[in-house]
Structure 1
Amino acid sequence: MNTLSPEKKIVVLNSLVEGNSIRSTVRMTGVNKKTVMRLLVGVGEQAREILNGQLVNLHTRRVQVDEIWTYVGKKQKQVKEGESLEFGDQYVFVAMDAETKLVCAFIVGKRNYKLAHSFMKELQYRISTRFQLTTDSFAPYFNAVDTVFGEDVDYAQIHKEYAEEPDAERRYGPASIIRITIRPLIGEPKRAYISTSYIERQNLTMRMQMRRFTRLTNAFSKKLHNLECAVALHFFHYNFMRIHQTLRVTPAMEANVTRRIWEWSDLLNHDLAKVA
């Protein structure tokens, strides 16, 4: 990674955050594949550290949560008994401020109660105000929210029933929704704000901007750490560098986390002492 000039690193990073695969980036930039991977992992780790330092004491009123599926190494049905838990299905749990569009928190791992609980602890750490929370009806969410927040949250679930469709694995989009049920569960969530539409749109952004999430391709993460670094890089770019079309500023600016649009140099130099 140190052999690349800052200008070349920026070219590579721009390629990665715009939905190009590692191999496509190699072809477009002429940079060696191993060098591209080292850059991704290095800046991904730095992005995670910056996000950890910046996304604290958030003043948020409405949060939407969802999970997006991917896999590492091989599809879950090909994982053999005794193989590492790193392989197979992995999910990215994501929380978004519905007003500022800031991604407040995210976590990568298996879709189970343990991860749901860890994710709610992460959300509690980052947000300093009482807020309304909406999730889908994934069963572990209620116990995780109740254990972490108790009565200090206004929580509701959206339960969607889907039509059974043949060839589900080969379709490009989700099955047709036949019924939606709203379930207020804790506190007094306002019905008008019980929604997951914004976070579901963020899922689409992730699939568009990270090649390893694109459906029906042979693009996937070979290592869990590579996936974690790619996700951290994506959310750093999304929160701090990419101007939101509706807001006309970055989500981090809208949320008063920073006063300016960040540049790649902020990540490459990793200068946390710099005034935001």
Structure 2
Amino acid sequence: MSQSPTKGKAHMVCHNCKIEAKKSGKDRKGNQRFRCAQCRKTFQELQEKPLDNMRIPMEKAEMCLQLLLEGMSIRSIQRITGLHQKTILDLMVLAGDRCRQLMKDRIKGIAVKDVEADEIWGFVGMKKMTRLYKQIDNPMVGDAYTFVGIERNTKLILAWHLGDRDTPNTEAFTEKLNHATSGRFQLTTDGLATYPDAISYSLGTRVDYAQLIKVYAHGDREGEQKYSPPEVVETVSKPIIGNPDPRRICTSIIERSNLSMRTSIRRLTRLTNAFSKKWENLHAMLSLYFCWYNFCRIHSSIRCTPAMESGLTGHVWTLRELLAA
């Protein structure tokens, strides 16, 4: 147990009366207590709570988060660390909330040149067809697509959004992309029909936009949701807005990023029972992953973190720094 910061202090200022208080014994954990001579209340010095009201050691919290980011399931982490699964989930949600705010505060107005965007499929509770079969009217259950925008050169995740592949969610994603970027840039997406109008509305005045449309052997993109997606027989480049450079119409970087997501996030691994049971938990894990990817993970192609390559920071962050930021 680390030494209390109050040890060695003979006097403290009362939180209520703002006058000097004297030592008055210790609590059962050895922390020094003080008593105010005026109001007669006892208290101890306020201590920092890096994990709010969670009382697990910071080292174990970092270990849990690292294991989550290495593709381990909740119950696997429970067996390794000895922490209860609810404690692990609470820690994940806490870290996710802080990472979401950090991304919102730090990733804004970034000067970019070449952006790729795509969606990666997952589900919460059950797949869409099962939900329809059971006639469950709950938008937080079923297919869940993660929209992701990445800068092709710096590998920085600029924006992401969790939702269905429909117009409102596409517009929400493009608005986040607009908030995260500045200046004119080239943007490439897949052939999702809701992209052109949403991008025209949110980014139309400052993008050269093109779609890279995949033609599948069976003519059905829904096969991508299966374990073995259908064969891609052709790709068609389709300029939509401005004057996109044909040589830079590409989605290879974002598709490789999708593979890293499925590898690092157990909830997105196919053919397992590790899928998310709650929408909030999936959202929290995605928040944690994208923030960790930007600030903590060294990318092999640029030999530093995407945040360093973008000039947002000068060093590789630790998970403890993410939680404290």
Q: TM-score band, normalised by the shorter chain?
A: over 0.9
- In 2, the alpha carbon distance for the partners of 1:165 and 1:120 equals 27
2:200 to 146, 168, 176: 146
- Equivalent residue, structure 2, for 1:208: 263
Letter of the structure 2 residue corresponding to residue 78 of structure 1: T
Match of 1:135 in 2: 189
Q: Are the structure 2 counterparts of residues 226 and 181 from structure 1 closer, same or farther at C-alpha, using a change threshold of 3 Å?
A: same
1:225 is matched with which residue?
Answer: 280
In the comparison of the two structures, how many residue pairs are matched? Answer: 269
Secondary structure in 1 aligned to 2:205?
A: coil
Is 2:289 the counterpart of 1:237? no
One-letter amino acid matched to 1:127: T
**In the aligned structure 2, how far is the partner of 1:28 from the partner of 1:82?**
36
Distance (whole Å) between structure 2 residues aligned to residue 69 and residue 261 of structure 1: 30
1:10 to 56, 62, 70: 62
Q: 2:125 aligns with which of 73, 87, 97?
A: 73
CA contact (8 A) 2:218 2:230 kept: yes
Q: Which residue is equivalent to 1:155?
A: 209
Q: Where is the helix percentage greater, Structure 1 or Structure 2?
A: 1
Query: Aligned AA for 1:145?
Result: I
- Note the alpha carbon deviations across 1:131-189, whole angstroms, 9 max, x for none: 100000000101111112223210000010111299x5895442211111100111010
Structure 2 match to 1:117? 171
Unaligned runs of 5+ in 2: 1-50
User: SS of 2:145's equivalent?
Assistant: strand
Local SS of the residue matching 1:138? coil
Aligned with 1:197 (options 240, 252, 260): 252
TM superposition score normalised by structure 2:
0.80
> TM-score under structure 1 normalisation?
0.94
Give the drift of 1:260: 1.1
Aligned-pair Cα RMSD in Å: 1.7
Question: How far off its partner does 1:266 sit?
Answer: 1.2
Instruction: Output the CA distance in 2 between the equivalents of 1:145 and 1:183.
Output: 14
Instruction: Indicate if the aligned counterparts of 2:224 and 2:230 stay in contact, CA closer than 8 A.
Output: no
Are 1:260 and 2:315 an aligned pair? yes
Q: Choose 1 or 2 for highest CA Rg.
A: 2
Unaligned runs of 5+ in 1: 271-276
3-state SS, counterpart of residue 256 of structure 1: coil
Identify if the C-alpha distance between structure 1 residues 225 and 253 changes in structure 2 by more than 3 Å, giving closer, same or farther.
same
Tell me the secondary structure at the aligned position of residue 150 of structure 1.
Answer: helix
75-84 vs 247-256, which deviates more? 75-84
Aligned to 1:273: none
